[in-house]
Amino acid sequence: MIWVDTIIQGILLGGLYALFAAGLSLVFGIMRLVNLAHGDLIILASYLILILVTATGMNPFVAAIVAAPVLFALGWLLQRFVLNRTLGDDILPPLLVTFGLSIVLQNALLEGFSADSQRISLGALETASVSVGSLSFGVIPLLTFASAIGVILGLNQLFYRTGIGRAFRATSDDATTASLMGIRPNRVFATATGIAMIVVTISALYLGTRANFDPSIGPARLIYAFEAVIIGGLGSLWGTLAGGVIIGVAQTLGAAINPEWQILAGHVAFLVVLLVRPRGLFPRGND
Amino acid sequence: MSILSLQNVSKSFESLKVTDGVSFDVPKGEALGIIGPNGAGKSTLFNLITGNLMSDNGKIFYDGRDVTRVPAMRRCLNGVGRSFQIPQPFEKLTVFENLVVAGAFGRDTSEAEVTQACAEILERTEMIDRANVPAGQLRLLERKRLELARALATDPKLLLLDEIAGGLTDAECQSLIQTIRDIHKSGVTIIWIEHVLHALTSVVERLLVLDFGRVIGIGEPGEIMESREVREIYLGIEV
C-alpha cells in the first residue's frame, strides 16, 4: 500500500512540474524560443503573490487572480520590446538574452527580498486532506494536478478553437507567410508570452504554497520543466503532463528508497526516456 | 487609374543588382503577365510589391498611395494578395483553417464574419471536399489551389500569382486557368509570373519581360513574343 501511496504522490507532484513546463512549452512551440529565465519568472510571480498576500491579507488564490493580468502585461512587454528583437535564424541571441535576464531577475529579487526563504501561507488548507479507503490525498496536491489538467485543456481549446489560437499555429508554421495574411507576428508572439505568464502565475501559486522558495531556486525548477517538455516530445502539451508525471513518480519512488535519491532518480528517469525514445514520448509530426 | 505603379525601383543583394530601375503601371482590373529567364528577378519583384523586401530606391504606389516603406502585413490589409511559387500552406492547419486565418487577419475582422466567404472560395477553387484535411497532406495541384484560395481569402484587390501553373498536367492546368479567369472577371487585378506561356497568354492582356532585373519589353502579348529582343534573350533563338 505504501507503494501505491508513493506513486500517487508522485503523479500529483508531476502536475506541478507539468505546470512549470506548460509555459515553457507554449513559448517554445510557437516561436522556437527557449526561455532560460522561465524558472526565475515563476519565482518573481511567487514574490508578487506573496507581496499581495502580506500587504492586503487577501487569500493567495485571489492574489494569484490579481497578479495574473500584471504578469500577462509584463510578459507582453518583455516579448514585444526585448525578446522579439532576438528572434531570427540564429538560435544563440535568445538564449544569451534570457540567460542574462535570469541573472538580472535573481539578483534583483535578492536585492529586494534578501536570501531568506519565504512561503505563501494557506492556513488550514495546507494540511487538509481527503481520504479514499486507506489512502489519503493532500488537497493542495490534488488542486495542483487538477490545475495542470485545466491549464492544458484551456490551452488546447485556445489553440484549436479560437482565432488567436489559429494565428499562433499559423505563425509557428511560417511567420513570413503569416505576415502576408495580415497577421502581425510580433504581436502574436507578445500575446503568446503574455499567456505563458498567466500559466507562470498559476505555477507560482502552487510553488509558493507547497514549499519554501528564495531568489536562487528558479534554475532548478527550469530543469524539471525542461525535462518534462523533452520527455513529452517538444511542443505537445499532453506529453508535457506525461513528462511531469514521469519525473514526479521517479522522484517520489527514489525518495521512498532513500531520501538522497529523490532528485537523482528524476534525472535518471529523464535519461532513460531519452535513451529509449530520443524524440520524446509524443513527438510532433514533422519538425 | 493604375492600382499599382513602380517608379525606378531597384534592389541589390550585395553587389548583385536583382531589380534594376524597374518602372511600370498596372491599370485597375488588368491581368498582366510577367515572363523572363530564371534569375531574372521575377520573384524578387513580387517580394518588393508585397513588402517582404524593401526596395533600395525608387517608389512604389498602390491604390494611389506611396507604399514604398509600408510593411507587408499592412499592404495585405490594403488588398495585396499573393501565392507562392513553392506552395507554403500552414501545414498543421486544415485547409479551411488556412483560409479562415488568412480571412480573419487579412481583412482585420472576426472569424465568424469570414467563414461563409471562405467556404465560397473553397467552392470556387474546387477545394471544398478537402476542407478538413491538414494542409500538409495535400498533393501538388491541391497545394497550388490552396495557395490561390488562401490569397483570395484575404479579399485582394491586387492578386500576385507566382508560377502557379508550373508542374501541373494539361488537364489540371486548364481547370486552374478557368478558375483564374473567373477571379479576373470578378474585378480582381492580377499580376502573374509564369513559364507556361500558353496558360499565361490565354488570360493576360499585357506581357512584361524581365531580364537581369530590367524591363526589356511591355505590351500586347503577340507583339511582345514577336519582338527580336525578347526572342533572343528569353527564348534563346538567334534571329
Q: Looking at residue B236, what is its pLDDT? A: 64
Cβ–Cβ of B110/A163 closer than 8 Å?
yes
Beta bridge partners of B13: B16
A to B CB pairs, distance under 8 Å: 71
Q: Which residue of B has its CA nearest to A159?
A: B93
Cβ atoms of B22 and B8 closer than 8 Å = yes
Cβ atoms of B218 and B208 closer than 8 Å = yes
pLDDT digit string (tens) for A152-189?
Answer: 999 999 999 999 999 999 998 888 888 888 888 899 99
Q: Which residue of A has its CA nearest to B102?
A: A181
Question: What confidence category does residue A60 fall into, taking pLDDT thresholds of 50, 70 and 90?
Answer: very high
Instruction: Please report how many Cα atoms fall inside a 13 Å half-sphere around the Cα of residue B71, on the Cβ side.
Output: 12
A-chain CB neighbours of B106 within 8 Å are 181-182
Buried residues in A175-197 as b, exposed as e (16+ CB within 10 A) = bebbbbbbbbbbbbbbbbbbbbb
Write the CATH number of the domain with boundaries A2-112+136-276: 1.10.3470
Beta bridge partners of B159: B81, B190
Phi first, then psi, for residue B153 (nearest 5°) are: -60, -30
Q: Looking at residue B234, what is its pLDDT? A: 64
Residue type, B172: E
pLDDT along chain B (239 residues), means of 10: 92 90 94 89 92 92 93 89 88 93 90 92 91 92 91 92 87 89 92 89 92 89 83 64
Which range of A97-106, A253-262, B174-183 scores highest in mean pLDDT? It is A97-106
A interface test, pick of B43, B47, B73, B86 with most A CB neighbours within 10 Å? B73
Q: Looking at residue A148, what is its pLDDT? A: 97
Burial label, B89 (beta-carbon count in 10 A; 0-12, 13-18, 19+):
buried
B-chain CB neighbours of A286 within 8 Å are 91, 136
Query: Residues of chain A whose C-beta is under 8 A from some C-beta in B?
Result: 163, 166-167, 169-170, 173-174, 176-184, 285-286
A-chain CB neighbours of B110 within 8 Å are 163
Cβ atoms of A29 and A235 closer than 8 Å = yes
Helix (H) / strand (E) containing B195: none
Q: How far B99 CA lies from chain A's nearest CA (Å)?
A: 9
CB-CB: which of A173, A176, A181 is closest to B102?
A: A181
Instruction: Please report how many Cα atoms fall inside a 13 Å half-sphere around the Cα of residue B3, on the Cβ side.
Output: 22
Beta bridge partners of A135: A132
Q: Looking at residue B129, what is its pLDDT? A: 92
- Reading the block at residue A201, the C-alpha cell is 502565475
Instruction: Please report how many Cα atoms fall inside a 13 Å half-sphere around the Cα of residue A239, on the Cβ side.
Output: 21
Q: How far B220 CA lies from chain A's nearest CA (Å)?
A: 31
Cβ–Cβ of A182/B93 closer than 8 Å?
no
CB-CB: which of A174, A181, A285 is closest to B105?
A: A181
Cβ–Cβ of B90/A176 closer than 8 Å?
no
- What is the radius of gyration, based on Cα positions, of chain B? 18
Cβ atoms of A141 and A211 closer than 8 Å = no
Task: For chain A, give every domain's residue range.
Answer: 2-112+136-276
Whether A286 has a pLDDT exceeding 80, the answer reads no
pLDDT digit string (tens) for A72-89?
Answer: 999 999 999 999 999 988
Question: What confidence category does residue A287 fall into, taking pLDDT thresholds of 50, 70 and 90?
Answer: very low
Q: Looking at residue B239, what is its pLDDT? A: 47
Cβ atoms of B221 and B199 closer than 8 Å = no
Q: What is the ipTM, given to two decimal places?
A: 0.72
Cβ–Cβ of B136/A285 closer than 8 Å?
yes
Q: Looking at residue B235, what is its pLDDT? A: 63
Cβ–Cβ of A182/B110 closer than 8 Å?
no
Burial label, B58 (beta-carbon count in 10 A; 0-12, 13-18, 19+):
middle
Q: Looking at residue A45, what is its pLDDT? A: 97
Instruction: Please report how many Cα atoms fall inside a 13 Å half-sphere around the Cα of residue A256, on the Cβ side.
Output: 16
Cβ–Cβ of B72/A183 closer than 8 Å?
no
What's the rounded Cα separation, in Å, for the pair B179 and B151? 13
- Torsion angle defined by CA atoms of residues B49, B54, B60 and B66, in that order, rounded to the nearest 10 degrees: 120
Residues 6+ apart with CB under 8 A from B153: A181, B98, B99, B100, B102, B103, B106, B114, B117, B118, B121
Q: Which residue of A has its CA nearest to B99?
A: A181
Cβ atoms of B181 and B190 closer than 8 Å = no
Q: Looking at per-residue confidence, does B7 or A286 come out higher?
A: B7
pLDDT digit string (tens) for A189-230?
Answer: 999 999 999 999 999 999 999 989 999 999 999 999 999 999
| CATH class for the domain made up of B1-79+156-239 | alpha beta
What's the rounded Cα separation, in Å, for the pair A52 and A62? 9
- Closest to B124 in 3D by CA, of B178, B70, B77: B178
A-chain CB neighbours of B90 within 8 Å are 169-170, 173-174, 177-178
Q: Which residue of A has its CA nearest to B97?
A: A166
- If DSSP states are collapsed to H, E and C, what string results for chain A? CHHHHHHHHHHHHHHHHHHHHHHHHHHHHHHCCCCCCHHHHHHHHHHHHHHHHHHHCCCHHHHHHHHHHHHHHHHHHHHHHCHHHHCCCCCHHHHHHHHHHHHHHHHHHHHHHCCCCECCCCHHHHHCEEEECCEEEEHHHHHHHHHHHHHHHHHHHHHHHCHHHHHHHHHHHCHHHHHHCCCCHHHHHHHHHHHHHHHHHHHHHHHHHHCCECCCCHHHHHHHHHHHHHHHCCCCHHHHHHHHHHHHHHHHHHHHHCHHHHHHHHHHHHHHHHHHCCCCCCCCCCC
Helix (H) / strand (E) containing B124: helix B111-124
A-chain CB neighbours of B77 within 8 Å are 182
Cβ atoms of A243 and A281 closer than 8 Å = yes
CB-CB: which of B72, B76, B111 is closest to A163?
A: B111
Cβ atoms of A285 and A173 closer than 8 Å = no
**Sequential DSSP letters for B8-51:** EEEEEETTEEEEEEEEEEEETT-EEEEE--TTSSHHHHHHHHHT
- Closest to B79 in 3D by CA, of B90, B88, B87, B70: B70
- Reading the block at residue A24, the C-alpha cell is 515553457
Whether A255 has a pLDDT exceeding 80, the answer reads yes
Q: Looking at residue B128, what is its pLDDT? A: 92
pTM tops 0.95 = no
Residue A123 to residues A15, A50, A55, A118, B45, Cα–Cα distance (Å): 22, 14, 16, 15, 67
Q: How far B157 CA lies from chain A's nearest CA (Å)?
A: 14
CATH 3.40.50.300 in chain B: give the residue spans.
Answer: 1-79+156-239
Q: How far B237 CA lies from chain A's nearest CA (Å)?
A: 38
CB-CB: which of B52, B76, B97 is closest to A182?
A: B76
